Amino acid sequence: MATKYIFITGGVTSSLGKGIICASLGRLLVARGLRVTVQKLDPYINVDPGTMNPYEHGEVYVTDDGAETDLDLGHYERFLSIRTSQQNNVTTGRVYFDVITKERQGTYLGKTVQVIPHITDEIKAHVTRLGESENFDIVIVEIGGTVGDIESLPYIEAMRQLRYDVGRKNTLSIHLTLVPYLAAAGELKTKPTQHSVKTLSESGLSPDILVCRSEYPLDETIRRKIAQFCNVEIEDVIASLDAESIYEVPLLMQDEGLDSRVIDKLNLPAKNADLVQWKQFVDKVKHPKTETTIALVGKYVEHHDAYKSIVEALIHGGALNDSRVSIKWVQSDYVNDENVADLLSGVSGILVAPGFGDRGIDGKLSAVKYARTNGIPFFGICLGMQCAVIEFARNCADLDGANSTEFNESTPYPVIDYMPDQREITDKGGTMRLGQYECKLSDGSNARKAYGDEFIRERHRHRFELNNDLRDTLQQNGLVVSGVNPERDLVEIIEIENHPWFVGVQFHPELKSTVNEPHPLFASFIKASLFHKEGYSNVQSEQNQPV
Ligand code: GLN
C-alpha cells in the first residue's frame, strides 16, 4: 500500500493542543493495526530547538539517534509507542541549511535558488523520505504555527503540492480550530473558524475534516453551520472539548468518530480499534486508589513545559502503582539549608531536575542533602545526579569545595568534569553527548531491581560527567556506582547505602516512558515514595524493599 499523508494545520490561535490531537489520532490508527508515524514541521529558523532557552521553547526532546527535537515528539512516542528520530522533526532552519549547503556544492547547476521550488521541494523530500523509510501506512504531518503566519506559507504550499504529487486519495487535510464561547452573547461563535478555513483554502489546502476545540459541546445547529460555511460534511465536524487528562483525548476523538472518518476517506484497511490497555491506563489515571506528592526541584518550574516528559513519566509511574502523583513545584533559587525542611515538608519523594548553568545549584544541593539525611526517596536526573555527587563529595567524602567545573573551573575537587571530547568544542548546537547509549547495571542495586535487566539503553544530553579520577575516593566513602557505560567506562547511575531509595542517573529516563511501557525507574521511585508515605522505616528487609 502506498504511504498516505495526513496534514494537520492549526487555526485561530496557538496552544490548541495540535500535538495531542496528532498523537491521539496516531494512537487510534495504531490501535486499528496500521503502521503510523508522526512528523513535526516547525517554521522557525533555529536548525533545532537544542540551543533554545526552556522558557522559550519548553523541554528539548532527545531521540534515540541523538536529535534534539520539539517536545511534541515526546507525545508521539508516549501515545503511539513508537520511536522517532531526526527525521520526525524538520525546521525551517534545517531546510534552509540543507538547501544552502547544496547550493554551495553546486547541486542546483547554475539555477536561481528560490523558495518555490527549492525550499518547497526540500520540505516535500523530508516528508516523503520519512514515509518511505519504513514503508509506513500513514505519516501524520503536524505543521507548527497558525494558518496565516508568513513563516508557515512554504509548508502549506509544499503540502498542497504533495497532494498533487502523491494523489489526492492518498492525502487528507485536517484543520484544528477554535470555536470560542462569548459570554456576553451567551453563544459559541463560528466566525473565527470560517476565517481560518478561508485562509487555508486560499492557499489551496482546503480541509477535509475540522477538529473544533471548544469549552462547550457543539450542538447540531453549530455543527451544521460550520459544515456549510467551511465546505465539509457534518460528520467531518469533530468536537474536541477540554479533557481531564490528555490521555483521555484518543477516547474522546474515537467517540466523535475522528478515526472512522479518516479510515473512510483514505480507504484504509483497518480492523476495530484495540484500546483495552489504553482504557485501563486512563481508568487508573482518573480513579487512583492512593496519592503521593513529589517535589520537583528545578529552576524553570514556572514553566512546566520545561519538564514535560518528567511530568508525564511521573503520571505513568503513578498509574502503574494505582496512585495519583501530585507535583509540588519547588523553585531551586529559593531553597537553602534553613528553609528546605519547610519547603519540602509533606512530600514523599524529591526529584532534582536536569538543567544547565549555576543558577539554583545551591538550592538543589540543599534538597539533595535533605533527601539523603531524612531517608526520603530521591531521584536525580542528569544535573540532579551531578548535584547528588557534589553533595556526597562535600558532606560524606570530606572533599571540601567539591564542585562541577561547569560552575567552578578552579574547584579543588572537580567531581563532575567535562568529558574529554567536550573540552575543545566551542559550537553550541548539537555538540553535547546526545542520544542512546548502553549501560551495565550492578547486581543488587535499586536500579538493577527496577529494570530487572543487566543491560539497558537510555538517552543522554549533557557535556559533563562524573570524574573517573575521583571515582575511587567517592566509592571508598560509600557512593555506589550502579550503572556504567561499558564502552567508555562512564558512570551512568549512582546510589548510596543505607537509604530506602536514592538514585541519580546521568541519562534522561523520562524520555523513554510511554503509556504502554511506564519507565521502571519512575515506577520504582513512586513505589518507594508510597512506602515512605506509609511510614516505611529504614529497615532493610528484602521484603520491604521497594523495587
Ligand atoms: N549541565 C549538565 C551537563 O551539561 C547537565 C545537563 C542536563 O541536566 N541535561 O552535563
DSSP 312-345: HHHHHHHHHTTEEEEEEEEEGGG--TTTHHHHTT
d(CA 82, CA 31): 12
Most informative mutation of 307, 386, 416, 510 for ligand 1 (most atoms within 8 A of CB): 386
Q: Give per-residue pLDDT as tens, 261-310.
A: 999 999 998 888 889 999 999 999 999 999 999 999 999 999 999 999 99
Rounded to the nearest angstrom, the distance between the alpha carbon of 70 and the centre of ligand 1 is 18
Amino acid at 433: R
CA distances from 525 to 10, 78, 281, 379, 532 (A): 38, 19, 19, 7, 10
Q: Which residues are CB-contacts of 213 (< 8 A; sequence separation ≥ 6)? A: 16, 17, 176, 177, 178, 179, 240, 241
Task: Tell whether ligand 1 has an atom less than 6 A from the beta carbon of residue 145.
Answer: no
Task: Tell whether ligand 1 has an atom less than 6 A from the beta carbon of residue 356.
Answer: yes
Rounded mean pLDDT of 66-95? 97
In this structure, which residue's CA is closest to atom 1 in ligand 1? Answer: 356
Q: Is 177 helix (H, G, I), strand (E, B) or coil?
A: strand
Exposure on the CB side of residue 341, measured as CA atoms within 13 A: 4
Task: Tell whether ligand 1 has an atom less than 6 A from the beta carbon of residue 462.
Answer: yes
Question: How high is the pLDDT of residue 373?
Answer: 96
Higher pLDDT, 545 or 258: 258
Rounded to the nearest angstrom, the distance between the alpha carbon of 43 and the centre of ligand 1 is 27
- pTM for this one? 0.94
Task: Tell whether ligand 1 has an atom less than 6 A from the beta carbon of residue 376.
Answer: no
DSSP 466: E
Burial 360-381 (b: 16+ CB within 10 A, else e): bbbbbbbbbbbbbeebbbbbbb
DSSP 8: E
Question: How high is the pLDDT of residue 182?
Answer: 93
Task: Tell whether ligand 1 has an atom less than 6 A from the beta carbon of residue 59.
Answer: no
Task: Tell whether ligand 1 has an atom less than 6 A from the beta carbon of residue 459.
Answer: no
**From the alpha carbon of 381, which atom of ligand 1 is closest?**
8
**From the alpha carbon of 508, which atom of ligand 1 is closest?**
9
Matching residue, cell 459541546: 217
Q: Give per-residue pLDDT as tens, 362-388.
A: 999 999 999 999 999 999 999 999 999
Q: Which residues are CB-contacts of 296 (< 8 A; sequence separation ≥ 6)? A: 307, 310, 311, 327, 328, 329, 330, 351, 353
What's the chain's average pLDDT?
94
502 has pLDDT over 80:
yes
**From the alpha carbon of 384, which atom of ligand 1 is closest?**
8
d(CA 308, CA 356): 17
The burial of 252, by beta-carbon neighbours within 10 Å (0-12 exposed, 13-18 middle, 19 or more buried), is given as middle
Higher pLDDT, 229 or 14: 229
pLDDT band at 538 (very low <50, low <70, confident <90, very high): very low
